[in-house]
Chains A and B, each alone.
Chain A
């Protein structure tokens, strides 16, 4: 079974620039999560999708962050414009219907200079 795929693995941008991350969950997983993990901290949930609908985006900074999951499969997370404090690893995870077992991708390490 293929795991959760994310790209790019690394990204360096200047502040005020835009960036987008892509996630392909495990086939058949209805629930998709985006997390932000700042160095030395645990992951913080940004947004949770159930199929292509948003279940929880209470901690998503909506003035600069956006995410979509068209057709309920792949998802993209965008930051526009980026700030220095957005430097972090962005993790994507997926889980199947009715379970709490989340499978994580390798993450995208973002550095904002």
Chain B
């Protein structure tokens, strides 16, 4: 069964600190992995996309890593800002079927002053 698990479920950090969110998946065959940011009351917005051959990708203060062998990904946020408070969702494409995607349940991050 195709699954995407994220940890932690929620996280509170002080403004300016770094944090790392985890994503483990069992989707096979694998096509690509995305991290989305979802602000409260808004639709998800893509942060990064990684294919099988990519180990790391950055988007500003966001850096995603991918280990296709262990089927793990992480999203590292550097020098957090209050605006980083949101849910971060890991989405894996693949697993058979046309453009099939599997969503994780998300990590809810709260950055406090």
Contact = CB atoms under 8 A, between A and B. Distances in A.
Interface of B: 4, 31-32, 34, 41-46, 49, 89, 91, 93, 97-101, 103-106, 108
B97 A107 contact: no
Interface residues of A, number: 25
Interface in A25-48: 31, 40-45, 48
B3 to A, nearest CB: 11
B43 A93 contact: yes
Contact of A100 (B42, B101, B104, B105): B101
Contacts of A45: 101, 103
Interface of A: 4, 31, 40-45, 48, 50, 55-56, 91, 93, 95, 99-107, 109
Interface centre among A43, A50, A105, A107 (most CB of B within 10 A): A43
B98 A55 contact: yes
B45 A104 contact: yes
Contacts of A42: 4, 89, 103-106
